[in-house]
């Protein structure tokens, strides 16, 4: 009996491992959202399984104050939020569409929204003769208006300090200083490594204690903290040394 139970557990684990269910998300327009405008969110659900999918749904959580406006494109829904809905949005498809499933919905952004916001959600799936399967939670950071709350190190404006962006800060630190890139030779962040007499631009946001056209060890460690935290956001009212906080807002 014990051997039979163990074999059943292993068989169940193998069946579960044979299903790979993922959720991807993109937004349009890309980059910073426009307060008072709309944002189109495209979700893509992909499935690899040895089983037979029998039901499909999606849960999306949108920022506070933002509202659902409707489906823009994609397979017909049997469950859809009403226009003006906020918070947790629930979707379901019937009949079951073919995978990959891609659909786009539209959100209205309130005029009062200016800070970085977050979208996150999970796909839900039922397999014949099996239980519920969920995708890993997918999180999308949507930056606020261009120039508002974006750190100088975050050259792709995704509210993260990526590895390449962190290496740029380490380059400034190892160079003993940095300066402004001349207009005829622009760089990705507007700066050049090395001591320079060209300091007519604003100092880098990471160079704050004091802003002396050099990166101290402490200032570099602050950017490493943002990198290891997976995100950062502007938080001027919280009394941090540079006006930013590590992590999601």
What is the extent of the structural domain holding 213?
A: 163-246
Same domain, 115 and 171: no
Two structure tokens written together for 88? 């947790």
Do residue 138 and residue 168 come from a single domain?
no
Whether 153 is in a domain gets the answer: no
* 115 and 233 co-located in one domain: no
Quick check: is 151 in a domain? no
Provide the pLDDT for residue 197: 61
Looking at the fold, whether 47 and 99 belong to one and the same domain comes out as yes
Other CB atoms within a 10 A radius of the CB of residue 62 amount to 26
249 residues of the chain, pLDDT tens digit each? 333 333 333 334 444 447 899 999 999 998 788 999 999 999 999 999 999 999 999 999 998 899 999 999 999 999 999 999 998 999 999 999 999 999 999 999 999 887 777 788 999 999 998 889 999 988 787 877 754 578 989 988 888 999 999 999 999 999 999 998 887 888 999 899 998 767 777 789 899 888 889 999 999 999 999 999 999 988 877 888 888 999 987
What pLDDT score was predicted for residue 2? 34
In a domain, 170, yes or no: yes
Backbone angles phi, psi at 157, to 5 degrees: 55, 50
Residue 197 lies in a domain: yes
| Domain-terminating residue out of 89, 110, 142 | 142
Q: Which of 108, 142, 176 is the last residue of a domain?
A: 142
Q: Which residue has the tokens 């089983």?
A: 51
DSSP structure string for 94-122? SSPPPSSEEEEEEEEPPTT--S-EEEEEE
Give me 107's structure tokens.
């959100």
Q: Do residues 122 and 174 share a domain?
A: no
Q: By C-alpha distance, which of 219, 191, 193, 194 is closest to 203?
A: 191
Number of domains making up the chain: 2
- CATH code, 6: 2.60.40.1510
pLDDT reported for residue 49? 93
154 assigned to some structural domain:
no
Let me know if residue 138 belongs to a domain. Answer: yes
> Whole-angstrom Cα distance, residue 229 to residue 127?
36
């Amino acid at each position: 009996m014990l051997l039979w139970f163990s074999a059943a557990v292993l068989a169940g684990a193998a069946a579960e491992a044979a299903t790979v269910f993922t959720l991807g998300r993109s937004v349009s327009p890309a980059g910073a959202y426009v307060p008072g405008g709309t944002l189109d969110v495209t979700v893509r659900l992909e499935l690899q399984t040895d089983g037979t999918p029998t039901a499909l749904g999606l849960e999306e959580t949108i920022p506070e104050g933002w509202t659902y406006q409707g489906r823009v494109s994609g397979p017909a829904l049997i469950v859809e939020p009403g226009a003006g809905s906020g918070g947790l949005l629930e979707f379901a498809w019937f009949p079951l569409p073919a995978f990959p499933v891609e659909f786009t919905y539209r959100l209205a952004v309130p005029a009062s929204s200016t800070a970085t916001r977050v979208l996150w959600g999970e796909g839900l799936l039922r397999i014949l003769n099996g239980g519920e399967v969920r995708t890993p939670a997918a999180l999308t950071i949507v930056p606020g208006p261009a120039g508002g709350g974006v750190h100088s190190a975050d050259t792709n404006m995704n509210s993260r300090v990526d590895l390449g962006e962190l290496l740029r800060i380490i380059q400034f630190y190892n160079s003993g200083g940095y300066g402004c890139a001349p207009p005829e030779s622009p760089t990705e962040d507007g700066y050049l490594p090395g001591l320079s007499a060209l300091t007519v631009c604003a100092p880098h946001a990471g160079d704050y204690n004091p802003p002396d056209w050099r990166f101290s060890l402490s200032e570099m460690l602050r950017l490493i903290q943002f990198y290891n935290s997976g995100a950062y956001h502007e938080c001027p009212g919280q009394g941090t040394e540079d006006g930013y906080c590590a992590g999601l807002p």
